[in-house]
Structure 1
Amino acid sequence: MPNREIHNVLHFVPLFDPKAAVTDNTAQVSAIIDLAGYNAAEIVLQTGTLTDADATFAVTVAESDAANMSGSNAVAASQLVGTLAQASFDFNTDSKARKIGYIGTKRYIQVTVTPANNTGNLFLSGVAVLGYPATGPTANPPQA
């Protein structure tokens, strides 16, 4: 039987904390995620009820070696697992999860979700799932 235990090899860092609905086209910028000590990162976004009839929400990922994201650049498609289009969503994506993996070499990443045509409610939360730790087991509860 395969080993089904992943508890000790995953670490979770909040990207977007749950909050009141966003009702305009303001870009939602995540926390900066420090990948030090981990060899894998998966970005997971979750939507709530989206109440606009034509809104779209584009996802981008930036990378940097600086803790404040100075000198950041957009992550090349070759450094992502999945596509930005697959991670993005629209008004029909109520209560769904989207994911995209990062396999680049920079220490820090940050996610931006940019609404277009949003006059309704955007409920968004997210978490970065870090894996393949250099040392383990990972802390429980997770420490940022």
Structure 2
Amino acid sequence: MRDFASHISARRAIAPAAAVTDNTPLVSEIIDLSGFGQAMFVIAIGALATAAATFTVLVEHGDDPALTDAEAVPDSQLTGSEAEASFDGNDDNETRKIGYVGPKQFVRLTITPANNAGAANVSAVALLGTPRYWPAA
């Protein structure tokens, strides 16, 4: 069966909210991968007011539910790269993605703006795949 929805589960990572107007990092929810073998963050970029702004993506993982043991994910455990998922002020209304195939139970996404002086509308969703039990809830 070609049913994609039964093979994934979606989690809110960075909620749609008021636009970021400075260089405060956008830090996602901690995503629990229990019952799933992989994850992908989908970043939705809305209007970006500062053309000179850059937004750097970082994916961290760990085994502690609060991620007190967080460490940057090695490139070999990512599908795509953090550089490819990053964006700048000229990338209005686009999307980016980055996947995780590492061994840890918890992951999070951080998007760090630089030179951002205007409104930046950004949100993200985590898609969990390869469910241990099918169909995925």
Q: TM-score, normalised by structure 2?
A: 0.98
Q: Structure 1 unaligned segments of length 5 or more: list them.
A: 140-144
2:132: which partner in 1? 134
2:9: which partner in 1? 11
In structure 2, how many angstroms separate the alpha carbons of the residues matched to 1:11 and 1:53? 34
Alignment partner of 1:49: what SS?
strand
In structure 2, how many angstroms separate the alpha carbons of the residues matched to 1:84 and 1:46? 15
1:69: which partner in 2? 67
Q: TM-score, normalised by structure 1?
A: 0.93
Q: In the TM superposition, what whole-angstrom CA distance separates every residue of 1:7-66 from its partner, at most 9, and x where no partner exists?
A: 111100010110011100001100000001001111110110001020000000100000
2:53: which partner in 1? 55
Cα drift, residue 4 of structure 1 = 2.3
Alignment partner of 1:48: what SS?
strand
Alignment partner of 1:123: what SS?
strand
1:33: which partner in 2? 31
In structure 1, how many angstroms separate the alpha carbons of the residues matched to 2:31 and 2:72? 15
Which amino acid counterpart does residue 45 of structure 2 have in structure 1? T
Seq. identity, %: 45
- RMSD of aligned residue pairs (Cα, Å): 0.7
Flag as ranges the 4+ runs of structure 1 deviating above 2 A: none
2:102: which partner in 1? 104
Higher strand share: 2
Q: 1:79 aligns with which of 77, 82, 90?
A: 77
Which amino acid counterpart does residue 121 of structure 2 have in structure 1? F
Q: Structure 2 unaligned segments of length 5 or more: list them.
A: none
Which amino acid counterpart does residue 49 of structure 1 have in structure 2? A
